[in-house]
Amino acid sequence: MPGSLSYGSSEISSVSSANVLDGTGKVVDHNPVIDADEKSDTPIVPQKLPNKRDDPAEAMEGRGVVGRNVVETPACRTQSRIKHTSMGIEGVREAARRDPKLRFTALMHHITPTLLVESFHALRKQAASGVDGVTWYDYEKILEARVHELHREIQSGAYRAQPSRRVYIPKNDGRLRPLGIAALEEKVVQMAVSTVLNAIYEEDFLGFSYGFRQGRGQHDALDALWVGIDKRKINWILDADIRSFYEKSITSGCCVSWDIE
């Protein structure tokens, strides 16, 4: 699809909630020095827990939640707003589960007007607007009239995403982190596309894969790590990080190979 879906080092803000399909989510990275109006949406993630390999790496019974309140997070609340999935997408998920090597060549028809409407309602209403200044409430007024034309543009290949609004937020080390704030309509399209893709790729994740997945976000990884250290015999703990991955890989000409279905 011609519309942009991810933006490398710009770390474009995507939809704060999730998809209708199996998967796991993420915990929002809060930085108190960032003005609330300038925060981008949280990355798009699937809604439900995975149907295979659903046991986390460590059971978390008897362990309190790390670094967060027990109450439901805003991300979880928005993720629950998408409650319906088409049988077509459900069929994609089942096919991906049955045959991990299956290649999918026709997926765009699963992006329907209904899915676009559901994707819109899953967005965080108070998220920062993009270059066009359109807010969630502004778009709500034209949603019914616009959704079918947007669907036609996507299916015909005529859809083009607007540029992202670039903002910079401070990091702990004093540097600035660039963020690209997508336009509201682009967030809707991103959510819909993510819904379809997650139907395939969530089936490939293992139970010990954490980060940007519902039920397996960063804090869930800390919970599992705590249980592993406390309940099991551990010989080694390796703390590793890839610093400025996108910036360095792009500027140095380094390429990342992805196993695309």
3-state SS of the chain?
Answer: CCCCCCCHHHCCECCCCECCCECCECCCCCCCCCCHHHCCCCCCECCECCCCCCCCCCCCCCCCCCCCCCCCCHHHHHHCCCCCCCHHHHHHHHHHHHCCCCCCCCCHHHCCHHHHHHHHHHCCCCCCCCCCCCCHHHHHHHHHHHHHHHHHHHHHCCCCCCCCEEEEEECCCCCEEEEEECCHHHHHHHHHHHHHHHHHHHHHCCCCCCCCECCCCHHHHHHHHHHHHHHCCCCCCCCCCCCCHHHHHHHCCCCCCCCCC
Residue 43 CA to residue 55 CA, distance in Å, equals 23
What residues does 103 pair with on adjacent strands?
A: none
Query: pTM of the full predicted structure?
Result: 0.61
Q: What does each of the 261 residues of the chain score in pLDDT, given as a tens digit?
A: 444 333 333 333 333 333 333 333 333 333 333 333 444 455 555 444 444 444 444 444 444 444 443 334 444 443 444 444 456 788 888 998 999 888 888 888 899 999 999 999 999 999 999 999 999 999 999 999 999 999 999 999 999 999 999 999 998 889 899 999 999 999 999 999 989 988 888 888 888 888 877 678 889 999 988 998 999 888 888 887 777 666 665 555 555 554 544
Query: What does the pLDDT read at residue 80?
Result: 43
Query: What does the pLDDT read at residue 239?
Result: 81
Query: What does the pLDDT read at residue 40?
Result: 46
